């Protein structure tokens, strides 16, 4: 696999838990600067299209220069409370400011009707969140990182490829191809959600209440993700987040089923000029590995990490520790803290 700039082929580096591949030759790893200090959190809001979006802001303490900031949002139909705080805490402990937000109509954010997933609206929410992050006191507005996972991994690829000024992108198990996602879902599963999708689209046109489907369900049932690992994977996210399974709805308005096949962030991958970390799992039943690798190969400065596991494994141990360590190493290499701030004695 080669990008336009004729990079060398992928290299394989065996590990006890993961296999590592990269679209650049790995540099000799150096000891990155670390920050093991404390941080504060605050619940805040920002406006997106006239609607308030909830944002939790993490701010490292005992710093006297502007900090790089990481902006984060979850994947398909999910909310920030499902394990994203675990990532944010690690980033803040490493010295980065972090903004974790919910999309309109989901989680703690406002917006009606609830659970309506609109791709263009989510892109607008991302742009609003990035503007908000740049406006924060104590943040270096030129050093903003967009972090996305699964569906939002596709969003950050799209935004970066369409010219959003970013210091770096982290795309964890990203959605990159609509047709590939539909193929991996399977014809029967796609048809099962297609019928309520049509009903919901008609309801939307007529101004009626949405028709909902499960975002995750067991194989053979009507749900947007019904691979064998999807339902237990979502169950693990709730459990490891300390949440009851009825804390947040696990449904989405069915109309999104008619649009996923046409959403392919990989078309923008070749336009990305900032450093990008793309993390892929080898047994991904939702975002096929080979498709994600090809998309990453189009990026000019991409680093690819391939791990053994399924789509939901990066969020929880034992894989979580490896995935977050690779993310922090990538940040230290490409969005260095040393040039952004000094720690007070």
Residues 6 or more apart in contact with residue 240 via CB below 8 angstroms: 83, 86, 315, 316, 317
Question: First vs last Cα of the chain: how many Å apart?
Answer: 48
Q: Which helix (H) or strand (E) holds 277?
A: strand 276-281
Cβ-contact 306, 296 below 8 angstroms: no
Q: What is the pLDDT of residues 61-110, one digit of tens each?
A: 988 889 999 999 999 999 999 999 999 999 999 999 999 999 999 999 99
Residue 185: band (very low, low, confident or very high) from pLDDT cuts 50, 70, 90: confident
Q: What is the 3-state secondary structure (H, E, C) of 88-107?
A: HHHHHHCCCEEEEECCCCCC
> Hey, what are 274's tokens?
């900032």
Instruction: Kindly tell me the burial class for residue 30, based on how many C-beta atoms sit within 10 Å of its own C-beta (0-12, 13-18, 19 or more).
Output: exposed
Residue 89 is encoded by which pair of tokens?
Answer: 């805490």
Helix, strand, coil shares of the chain, percent, nearest 5, are 35, 20, 45
Q: Quick check: bond before 318 cis, omega within 30?
A: yes
Buried b (16+ CB within 10 A) or exposed e, 137-153: eebbeebbbbbbbbbbb
Nearest to 91 by CA among 63, 58, 119, 134: 58
Lowest mean pLDDT: which of 128-137, 268-277, 282-291?
282-291
- Model's pTM, two decimal places? 0.88
What does the alpha-carbon distance between residue 76 and residue 74 come to, in Å, rounded to a whole number? 7
Kind and range of the H or E run holding 195: helix 187-205
Residue 11 has pLDDT above 70, yes or no: no
Whether residue 150 contacts residue 287, with contact meaning beta carbons closer than 8 Å, is answered with yes
pLDDT confidence bin for 184, thresholds 50/70/90: confident
Give 254-275 pLDDT, tens digit per residue. 999 999 999 999 999 999 999 9
């Amino acid at each position: 696999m080669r990008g336009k700039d004729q990079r060398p082929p992928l290299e394989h580096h065996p590990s006890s838990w993961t296999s590592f591949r990269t679209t650049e030759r790995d540099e000799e790893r150096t000891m990155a600067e670390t920050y093991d200090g404390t941080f504060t959190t605050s619940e805040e809001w920002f406006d997106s299209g006239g609607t308030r979006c909830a944002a939790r802001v993490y701010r490292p303490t005992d710093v006297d220069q502007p900090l790089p900031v990481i902006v984060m949002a979850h994947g398909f139909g999910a909310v920030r409370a499902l394990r994203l705080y675990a990532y944010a805490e690690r980033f803040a402990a490493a010295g980065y400011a972090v903004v974790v937000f919910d999309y309109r109509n989901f989680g703690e954010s406002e917006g009606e009707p609830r659970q309506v997933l609109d791709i263009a609206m989510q892109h607008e929410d991302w742009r609003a969140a990035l503007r908000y992050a740049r406006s924060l006191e104590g943040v270096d507005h030129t050093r903003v990182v967009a972090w996305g996972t699964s569906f939002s991994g596709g969003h950050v690829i799209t935004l970066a490829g369409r010219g959003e000024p970013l210091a770096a992108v982290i795309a964890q198990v990203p959605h990159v191809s609509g047709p590939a996602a539909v193929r991996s879902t399977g014809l029967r599963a796609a048809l099962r959600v297609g019928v309520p999708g049509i009903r919901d689209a008609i309801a939307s046109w007529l101004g009626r209440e949405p028709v909902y489907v499960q975002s995750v369900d067991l194989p053979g049932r009507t749900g947007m993700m019904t691979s064998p690992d999807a339902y237990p994977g979502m169950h693990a996210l709730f459990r490891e987040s300390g949440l009851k399974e009825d804390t947040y709805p696990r449904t989405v308005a069915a109309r999104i089923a008619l649009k996923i096949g046409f959403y392919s962030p990989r078309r923008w991958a070749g336009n990305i000029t900032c450093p990008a970390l793309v993390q892929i799992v080898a047994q991904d039943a939702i975002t096929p590995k080979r498709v994600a690798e090809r998309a990453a190969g189009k990026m000019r400065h991409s680093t690819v990490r391939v791990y053994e596991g399924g789509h939901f494994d990066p969020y929880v141990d034992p894989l979580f520790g490896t995935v977050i360590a690779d993310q922090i190493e990538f940040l230290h290499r490409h969005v260095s803290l040393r040039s952004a701030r000094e720690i007070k004695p």
